[in-house]
Chains A and B, each alone.
Chain A
Amino acid sequence: MRHIISVLMENEPGALSRVVGLFSQRNFNIESLTVAPTEDETLSRLTVTTIGDDRVVEQITKQLNKLIDIVKVVDLTEGDHLERELMMIKMKANNGTVRAEIKRTADIFRGTIIDVTPNTFTVQLVGASSKLDAFIEALGTANIMEVVRSGVSGIARGEKVLSV
């Protein structure tokens, strides 16, 4: 099963490499990984999506918790949560039919065209990863020139927060 694990860690040099190293050292899978500072400048927030059975995911959270730089770990998928990923996708758009098709699909998915040249469109799309996948499927891969995805960020619904 797919899990979204959120981590608060000390904003120390080397902290990120310990997390990444742990995943490869212990043969855990990483689907996506994002990391950025938080409102508290001593802390970074890291989100990792991974696929594994219960035993593996239990090990992942336990092993993450053991890292000295890590302050908190939560498996967001255990409760109600929101997930978002940002995608920028550059496509060949060199004739009227294709341009209209991309525009129409982007509208349906609530994407935005953020860059235009005579031969290309670049669309920005935000949503759950499955929505981004669906967008790519809807347009087909033939015209795709480049796809950039941010990886997943997540947050619990309601009043629950991840903080120190």
Chain B
Amino acid sequence: MELLSGAEMVVRALRDEGVKFIYGYPGGALLHIYDAIFTQDDVEHILVRHEQAATHMADAYARATGKAGVALVTSGPGATNAVTGIATAYMDSIPMVVLTGQVMSHLIGEDAFQETDMIGVSRPIVKHSFSVQRPEDIPEIIKKAFHIAESGRPGPVVVDIPKDMTTPTERYEYEYPKSVKMRSYNPISKGHSGQIKKAVDMLLAAKRPVIYAGGGVIMGDASQELIALAKELGCPVTNTLMGLGGFPGTDPQFIGMLGMHGSYEANMAMHHSDMILAVGARFDDRVTNGTDKFCPTAKIVHIDIDPASISKTIKADVPIVGPAQAVLKEMLEQLQAAKSTPSAESLKTWWEQIEEWRGRHGGRYNTNDSELMKPQQVIEMLSKVTNGDAYVCSDVGQHQMFAAQYYKFNKPNRWINSGGLGTMGFGLPAAMGVKLNFPDEEVVCVTGEGSIQMNIQELSTISQYGIPVKVICLNNQSLGMVRQWQDMNYESRHSQSYMKSLPDFVKLVESYGHVGIKVERYEDLEGAMREAFAMKDRMVFMDIAVDPFEHVYPMQVPRGSMRDMWLSKTERT
């Protein structure tokens, strides 16, 4: 058997796990590992400019592929800089392995230079963590880290590696385990057939059914199964913010996103439904609105791989614990084998009602109340120019909601955004992580002038590695989402939501060697956008001036039911 140092084992284990890229930043505690990286070329290291970006790149790779991304950060400040990225992945159940350097074992607890208790700091935001105690354990720990991160309900795993575990002169037999078994961790592989039968009976009897599908369909690779089931049933489908793309955005059965900024028809359909089939969705407070008023006439079937997601905020009538893919497949089989079909008559009535809602308020915005372009127009143009096929990586704010509402996602894993934590600064590194791994695909970062400045330093990483992402900056010269809340709840007292002294983004990106395009009139938009996308091997930043006064609608009225919404600055349901 081959003898390797701890440092070499770390790198070799990543190779044997099939990892192509790792994203990181060096420091004292990692020097042995960086030396081991230098002497091989199986695993390519991408040097970011801030550790937060490394975690978002790893995270976005995972969102696009379902496989865990890997970040490597040094002890102390390197590790703490990674915390936001770990929390972002945790909230959205994204598989990720974060390797953190640590001071020498004998110094732990002595407030040594760059010592942070990373196991302690990260405890509430990881699925699990390991602290390496013996170098010879490294291969097994790394195997377990990937296994835990990717299976069951996915999540980030931290592996803390004291420097003396990687000493180059101390060598050990290396073998990468093919699989690992843990008596305390056995993710479930299929749903309970009896429960599925109950759900099928309910689906057959339902008069006003809705499928409410979330991020679990994306991460659980169950989009095909979801589409097949929805087609069989002929019922409406709504997606959460995290579930977009799980069902094709242009399909007539798709009624849009639901929740706080969900479509009028999706929120109305949920409220009036008599049966909700929830798949891989966690009844988040941005979806349910007031839980006491949630969908009063609906019976709820809830499919989730994590039993703790079921009946956490809304009680399920039929809980089904299992992977969405396997459960939906069995559900479809049972449905096709059933003697009866859902009543065509009631389904027809239900669709008439939904179409009436859709016709009344669906997808409208006013283009006449401002000289400036509307952000929605920009997203609709983006959707058109990229045929709804681009990887769209978003930052957080109004622009994120407009992207969610107006980009027609036709494929899963292509809408990449921070939903649970809502991390401004996510978009650009996320786009970089995706583009590196999918060089032939169109990868866009939709952002605002606020969010982009939270990880703007990565323009430098983009130059170093030549990562030609396209940035669509909806520049409203304000922290728009904050400003909207101030307009609606604080009589327009815009406390600290106005961004003074914005940089000239065009000059800024040019200084990094990229292309900047400023667009101020709608007439110029399509041409400029096509020009940007034609530059296949250049990073292009489109600084697009949009109406600063625009609000995101619909917006649910706080603590109301799902159907209580503001539809514009003046209309309420």
Q: List chain A positions with a Cβ less than 8 A from chain B.
A: 9-10, 13-14, 17-18, 21, 25, 55, 58-59, 62-63, 65-66, 68-71, 164
Contacts and interface: CB of A to CB of B under 8 A. Distances in A.
Given A14-B119, A18-B123, A68-B184, 16 more contacts: A9-B184, A14-B129, A17-B120, A17-B123, A21-B123, A55-B311, A55-B315, A58-B311, A62-B308, A65-B307, A66-B306, A68-B128, A68-B185, A69-B184, A70-B184, A71-B183
A59 B148 CA distance: 21
A17 B128 CA distance: 12
B119 A71 contact: no
B311 A10 contact: no
B312 interface: yes
A153 B184 CA distance: 22
Contacts of B308: 59, 62-63, 65-66
A136 B124 CA distance: 38
B534 interface: no
Contact of A59 (B128, B131, B312): B312
Given A55-B311, A59-B308, A63-B308, A68 B123 contact: no
Contacts of A65: 307-308
A66 to B, nearest CB: 6
A52 B311 CA distance: 15
Give me the 7 closest cross-chain CB pairs, A-B, nearest first: A62-B308, A68-B128, A71-B184, A25-B124, A62-B307, A21-B123, A68-B185
Contacts of A9: 184
Nearest to B312: A59
B322 to A, nearest CB: 15
B184 A13 contact: no
Contacts of A10: 184
Interface string B179-195: 00011110000000000
> What interface size band does chain B fall in?
20 to 34
Contacts of B312: 59
B32 interface: no
Nearest to B152: A66
B56 interface: no
Contact of B183 (A17, A55, A58, A164): A164
Given A13-B131, A17-B123, A68 B311 contact: no
A23 B308 CA distance: 14
A58 B316 CA distance: 13
B484 to A, nearest CB: 30
B414 interface: no
Interface in B458-516: none
Contact of B131 (A14, A18, A70): A14
A58 B313 CA distance: 12
Contacts of A164: 183
Contacts, number: 37
Interface string B325-337: 0000000000000
B403 to A, nearest CB: 31
B127 interface: yes
A68 B182 contact: yes
Contacts of A68: 127-128, 148, 182, 184-185
B124 A21 contact: yes
B165 to A, nearest CB: 15
Contacts of A70: 184
Contacts of B131: 13-14
Contacts of B127: 68
12 contacts: A9-B184, A10-B184, A13-B133, A14-B119, A21-B123, A55-B311, A55-B315, A58-B311, A65-B308, A68-B148, A68-B182, A70-B184
Interface string B288-306: 0000000000000000001
A69 B573 CA distance: 49
A164 B133 CA distance: 26
Nearest to B310: A62
A164 to B, nearest CB: 6
Contacts of B306: 66
A53 to B, nearest CB: 12
A10 B308 CA distance: 21
A9 B306 CA distance: 20
A35 B72 CA distance: 35
A164 B153 CA distance: 23
A70 B123 CA distance: 15
A33 to B, nearest CB: 17
Interface in B333-355: none
Contacts of B185: 68
Contacts of A59: 308, 312
B341 to A, nearest CB: 36
B79 to A, nearest CB: 16
Nearest to B127: A68
Contacts of A25: 124
A64 to B, nearest CB: 9
Interface string B125-148: 001110101000000000000001
B323 to A, nearest CB: 16
Nearest to B123: A21
Nearest to A70: B184
A14 to B, nearest CB: 6
Pick from B127, B308, B312 the residue with the most CB of A within 10 Å: B308
Nearest to B124: A25
A21 to B, nearest CB: 5
Contacts of A17: 120, 123
Pick from A21, A58, A66, A70 the residue with the most CB of B within 10 Å: A66
Pick from A13, A25, A62, A63 the residue with the most CB of B within 10 Å: A62
Pick from B129, B153, B184, B306 the residue with the most CB of A within 10 Å: B184
A98 B203 CA distance: 73
Contacts of B123: 17-18, 21
A74 to B, nearest CB: 15
